[in-house]
Amino acid sequence: MEPGARVCPFCGEPPGSGVFCAACGRNLAAVEQLPTREEWEAASAPSPGPVATATVGLPAFLAAMHAAGDPGTTKLARTEPGFLGRAQHVHGWVVRAVDRDPDDPKADFEPGRFVTVAGHLHRLTSKTRGIGMRDGVRYVDLVGPEATDQEHDERLGGELAAVLRANGLSVPT
């Protein structure tokens, strides 16, 4: 991505053409001017000290988010179909985005993590939903089954703290 490209002030990705960011889903209507990628990287660079290494547990994360009115929640479809094959949806926060190569739809990817408003940690997967002439490959994130390896994931605490900071909340100590 070019350093002068305009990006979403919340996630640093290209926002798309609508009012909501195509990458993170945040409302950009109140943003006067989108920052450049270079400005966003400078503003979001971790500062040295305890803030950069702060981690938070899932119960403290949920308590802080519920107290603030659950800012930054997003609604995603589940991988399991509901009654009569209907799509199920769940509300929560993308803690770790899916890591995939956008140019190769057949390549393996690393699943992300999604925390529901109820406090369940799920795998976040990605599927292709069509290949168009103009848009190329279109990916859709889906909330998969509950993650059972959360005890062994040392990155989770730091990622929860980053979601708190991205939504303007301080990390509880």
Sketch the domain layout of the chain as residue ranges: 1-45, 48-166
- Residue 27's pLDDT is 82
State mean pLDDT over 143-152: 71
For the whole model, what pTM was predicted? 0.62
Looking at per-residue pLDDT, the higher value among 19 and 149 belongs to 19
Alpha-carbon distance of 59 to 123, in angstroms, equals 18
Which residue, 109, 37, 123, is CA-closest to 80?
Answer: 123
- Residue 1's pLDDT is 67
- Residue 52's pLDDT is 46
Per-residue pLDDT at 16 exceeds 50: yes
Q: Considering only CA atoms, give the Rg of the chain.
A: 17
Per-residue pLDDT at 14 exceeds 70: yes
Write out pLDDT tens, residues 92-144: 999 888 887 767 766 777 888 899 999 888 888 887 777 766 666 677 888 88
State mean pLDDT over 79-85: 81
Per-residue pLDDT at 61 exceeds 80: yes
